[in-house]
Amino acid sequence: MTERNPIPLIITAVASILGTVAVLSYYGYVHFAKPQDALLLNDYTMLKTVPGEDYKVSLKPATQVAQCIDGVLVLFDTEQKGLTGVLVDDRKRAVRCIAEEQGQTP
């Protein structure tokens, strides 16, 4: 039996992985997140609504828009295109939402 040299196999495997990552990132399937892409949860505050009590909010809307997708609250940033995130709590659990049915009357 002859011994095979493993170096060409290793080089081929590494080149295949690098090529796959390059093609996937070129077509937008791989995104490397940058720190400036993140929205910090401490930038948000929950206002508890109590019946009979008034609360004040700004008339100017935030730059984020929330949407309920598959029961999870997803935030879209309107200033930085492509910045999307899931709202989570301090234990990294997704904040759930109730999707309203179209055409349903209360």
Let me know whether 26 and 40 are in one domain.
no
**3 in a domain, yes or no?**
yes
Let me know whether 85 and 46 are in one domain.
yes
Gap between the Cα atoms of 43 and 105, Å rounded = 35
**106 in a domain, yes or no?**
no
**60 in a domain, yes or no?**
yes
Let me know whether 15 and 46 are in one domain.
no
Number of structural domains, the chain? 2
Let me know whether 45 and 94 are in one domain.
yes
Let me know whether 53 and 89 are in one domain.
yes
**70 in a domain, yes or no?**
yes
Instruction: Enter the pTM of the model.
Output: 0.47
pLDDT tens track for 78-88? 877 766 788 88
**105 in a domain, yes or no?**
no
Structural domain for 25, as ranges: 1-32
Let me know whether 74 and 91 are in one domain.
yes
pLDDT tens track for 36-68? 656 555 566 677 778 888 878 888 888 888 888
Measured CA distances, 103 to 70, 100, 106 (Å)? 18, 9, 10
Let me know whether 77 and 52 are in one domain.
yes
Let me know whether 85 and 38 are in one domain.
yes
Gap between the Cα atoms of 74 and 94, Å rounded = 9
Radius of gyration of the chain measured on its C-alpha atoms: 23
The conformation of residue 54, written as its DSSP 8-state character, comes to -
CB 79 within 8 A of CB 63: yes
Gap between the Cα atoms of 21 and 30, Å rounded = 7
